[in-house]
Structure 1
Amino acid sequence: MAKFVLAGKADCPHYAKAELLADTLKRSLPDFRVHKLCMHPGEWKEWLEAMCERNGWKHEHSPLVWRELVEQGGKGMLLGGFSDFLDHCQDFYGITSDMSTDLMLSITAENVEAKMNLIAEEQHHVSLIKPLHIWISGACSTTCQLLIPSLLSAEVFPGISAVSLHLLHLEGNTEELCGLKMEIEDLALSMLHQATVHTDLEEAFQEADVVLLLDDRCSCGENEDNPKEISEIYRQYGRLIDTRANKQVKVIVSGDLFVNLRCSLLVDSAHSINSHQFVAMATQLENEARALIAEQLKVKAADITDVIVWGNISGIFYIDLQRARVFNYDGAIKGPAFFSLPVQEVFCDRKWLETDFQHSVRHQREAVAAKTGQAPAMSAANGILTLLKAWNGTGKPDEVMSLGLLCPGSYNLPEGIVLSVPATFTDGKWSVLFDVSIEDKLMEQLQQCGNELQQEKELVSDSCK
């Protein structure tokens, strides 16, 4: 069986002539097969160079004709251009071309029109797809790698059919990012429209609908505990989000260092975006506290609900259990699966709750890192997913969550700081939960948190000046 491949520019008369000759051969010879590649003139040169380099051929003009060795395997056998194809047809099949100039030009015009119509149709189909643009900074982190498989799902983004995922890692290893991109594509997730990689801010946050900021350390890796090192980059992030992102963008700040401060820097720099669109993630702390309480009460961590984190998520904070409840507790009073009891009523050791418990939550990540050799990434990824589900309306109804929010004038604390407070989500919007008791001890803790956050902001403001 003879199988030929005929490639050429849509506006090439010789390609039109070779195309007609191939059609004549198909009608005359039952076993003759031809595959046509009609290409846009602007794409031809690059495609031809790549094809010749891959096969070790030398050819410079349109058309390009080769014979596929379908029964023998291996690369195809180059014939050449139109004249070479014509000679081959005359020698082997006794068929030649008698195409007139007018017919040749007519077919060329038809080829160009057909190619342009095909391109227009493809562009129209692409324009109908409106993907959700998700940007992730610190994309080389383990948290990002664990986050992505569950991120692109209808459970997290209901009603979304396509997602464009943008991986940003400043001064990162481009090869590592490209490898991550390949691995993401290999997941074959139905919602993934495309994945792109970025190592600078030239195109960062374009058309962003969701921004997940995982980088909490300076790119140089020096003085990583100094807020001055990250303040300028987060001011830049804020300005870019302000000018490039969707005005309804959802921004989540995560990490282990200066979480509240980084969020407040974004709010200060993104003047045209509502501060409600910026949230610092405290869900990871909540879950760590739930796990410690569950261990004491002999239940699952999921059986503990409505734990509140007040204050500076990565600094001075306080775990409040005034609304916390426990399900499936094996105590004197039992009930069906939906029955729960207040944690403070069933927990006898109040001293432990106020001392060892608070201390253990503060050092839980250090304990995990000491055993695994790396920062806890799985719990961070899960915390982000939980927050996104609630923000997108798929979380548990009436669930109390702790969020780092801009709380102007609340709790008699300084203006302009981001504070972790209890909140609930309704129809994709959060509201602060004020139905809580602020006793003297809690107010004292909040004052310490506020002072710490104010000092952090003053420090980076002085460095900026």
Structure 2
Amino acid sequence: MDGFVSIEKSFVVLGCVYLSWKIIKHIWSSLNLEKDPVTVLVTGAAGQIGYALVPMIARGEMLGPDQPVIIHMLDIEQAAEALNGVKMELIDAAFPLLKGVVATTDVVEACSDVNIAILVGGFPRKEGMERKDVMSKNVSIYKAQALALDQHAAPDCKVLVVANPANTNALILKEFAPSIPEKNITCLTRLDHNRALGQISEKLNVHVSDVKNVIIWGNHSSTQYPDANHATVKTFTGEKPATELVGDDKWLKTEFIDTVQQRGAAIIKARRMSSALSAASSACDHIRDWVLGTPKGTWVSMGVSSDGSYGVPQGLIYSFPVTCDKGEWSIMQGLKIDEFSREKMDANAKELMEEKSLAYSCLN
């Protein structure tokens, strides 16, 4: 009999707990409590990537489905009318998470109080232009944006550089925005990382979500090194090395690398325009994992300031495998590097050192 009484009391207690939880939930909901909005800057916002990116941010794909945002959009004077059109579309879409939109050609207004800056705008290389001419144009743009962010952005502002040459643009930004922590300035190699995941998944005819831990080493350029040596694939019998399942070392060292390196050019050839959709999606992936964290046992590729890991010169913005937790990234340590990889990684470091010298000569 005592046992039945105890069980009855337990049900009463559980019922009270459940009722209390429902009451608290109702009160919380009625108070309409929500997170403070995060202010996100997108430069070059009237362009193709910006146009694809801003609705993703407003929809919660970058910072989560419960995070309100204010979007600042910056573009050049010639694009002011198109930029205003993007603003009108954002308003017309009635995104519940979107708490404000600023569309401006004023870099100071655009950078004011931003928590996250995604720098898509840059000067593209045109036919007949020398490499130094392109570098000079972008050095000027990124120096101006760095100074504005340094003076007007939130103290903990996180920066993602998308525009090419992405690594060196980020390096210039780091130079002229000393108040922004060095670890808060990154560049986008997640697009290349995602492309590498896609190639492995297609080769093995598995879902891309079953593939993880590819690496993009080095520069976001045609010399980048996509590395599948540490990648794994989920199977019915557990995770297995991608190299073992592919079983074709020649493909991994030739066609796989070439396809990832040249994917952007292949897309331009196919659609007569650059890869805007995938670039915007990967920028969201980059920020989301950085802010919200990477899944346990998974790393992603980010262009970050080198601390000397894997023999990469300190201070270069270089793509490494990283894990993220509580808004901080950490370079994955202890990975075995074979001779083939070492050669590719060193070639990227050399190229980035040359780009750095060229950029500094443009400054002078």
**What TM-score range do you get, normalising by the shorter chain?**
0.7 to 0.9
With over 3 angstroms needed to count, the CA separation of the structure-2 counterparts of 1:395 and 1:410, relative to structure 1, is closer
Q: Find out whether 1:462 has 2:361 as its counterpart.
A: yes
Q: Which moved more, 1:141-150 or 1:418-427?
A: 141-150
Query: What is aligned with 2:72?
Result: 166
Letter in 2 for 1:162: P
Q: Find out whether 1:431 has 2:330 as its counterpart.
A: yes
With over 3 angstroms needed to count, the CA separation of the structure-2 counterparts of 1:422 and 1:326, relative to structure 1, is same
Secondary structure of 1:260's aligned partner: helix
The offset of 1:160, in angstroms, is 5.9
Q: Find out whether 1:275 has 2:182 as its counterpart.
A: yes
Correspondent of 1:148 among 54, 60, 65: 54
Query: What is aligned with 1:376?
Result: 275
Query: What is aligned with 1:79?
Result: none
Letter in 2 for 1:403: M
Tell me if the contact between 1:386 and 1:395 (Cα under 8 Å) persists in the aligned partners: no
| 1:99-119 C-alpha deviation (Å, 9 max, x unpaired) | xxxxxxxxxxxxxxxxxxxxx
Paired positions, count: 329
> What pairs with 1:29-178 in structure 2 (closer than 5 Å)?
130-154=36-60, 156-158=62-64, 161-178=67-84
Tell me if the contact between 2:108 and 2:152 (Cα under 8 Å) persists in the aligned partners: no
Separation (CA, whole Å) in 2 of partners of 1:261 and 1:407: 13
Q: Find out whether 1:442 has 2:341 as its counterpart.
A: yes
After TM superposition, the score normalised by the length of structure 2 is 0.84
Q: CA RMSD in A?
A: 2.3
Gaps of 5+ in 1: 1-127, 329-333
Query: What is aligned with 2:89?
Result: 183
Separation (CA, whole Å) in 2 of partners of 1:288 and 1:439: 23
Tell me if the contact between 1:156 and 1:394 (Cα under 8 Å) persists in the aligned partners: no
With over 3 angstroms needed to count, the CA separation of the structure-2 counterparts of 1:170 and 1:218, relative to structure 1, is farther
Letter in 2 for 1:460: A
Separation (CA, whole Å) in 1 of partners of 2:214 and 2:135: 28
Separation (CA, whole Å) in 1 of partners of 2:95 and 2:321: 34
Identity over the aligned pairs, expressed in percent?
27
Correspondent of 1:313 among 215, 220, 245: 220
Separation (CA, whole Å) in 1 of partners of 2:311 and 2:180: 25
The offset of 1:308, in angstroms, is 0.4
Correspondent of 2:122 among 213, 216, 239: 216
The offset of 1:379, in angstroms, is 0.8
Query: What is aligned with 2:230?
Result: 323
Q: Find out whether 1:405 has 2:304 as its counterpart.
A: yes
Correspondent of 1:418 among 307, 317, 339: 317
Tell me if the contact between 2:73 and 2:110 (Cα under 8 Å) persists in the aligned partners: no
With over 3 angstroms needed to count, the CA separation of the structure-2 counterparts of 1:244 and 1:224, relative to structure 1, is farther
Letter in 1 for 2:86: L
The offset of 1:188, in angstroms, is 0.4
Query: What is aligned with 2:22?
Result: none
The offset of 1:444, in angstroms, is 1.8
Letter in 2 for 1:365: G
The offset of 1:396, in angstroms, is 2.8
Query: What is aligned with 1:260?
Result: 167
Tell me if the contact between 1:403 and 1:421 (Cα under 8 Å) persists in the aligned partners: yes
The offset of 1:413, in angstroms, is 3.2
After TM superposition, the score normalised by the length of structure 1 is 0.67
Separation (CA, whole Å) in 2 of partners of 1:224 and 1:132: 40
Name the one with the larger helix percent.
Answer: 2
Tell me if the contact between 1:172 and 1:199 (Cα under 8 Å) persists in the aligned partners: no
Separation (CA, whole Å) in 2 of partners of 1:252 and 1:224: 26
Between the two structures, name the one with larger relative contact order (CA 8 Å, sep ≥ 6).
2
Q: Which moved more, 1:290-299 or 1:205-214?
A: 290-299
Tell me if the contact between 1:223 and 1:229 (Cα under 8 Å) persists in the aligned partners: no
Letter in 2 for 1:349: D
Tell me if the contact between 1:406 and 1:416 (Cα under 8 Å) persists in the aligned partners: yes
After TM superposition, the runs of 4+ consecutive aligned structure 1 residues lying more than 6 A away are 219-222
Q: Find out whether 1:235 has 2:235 as its counterpart.
A: no
Separation (CA, whole Å) in 2 of partners of 1:305 and 1:172: 42
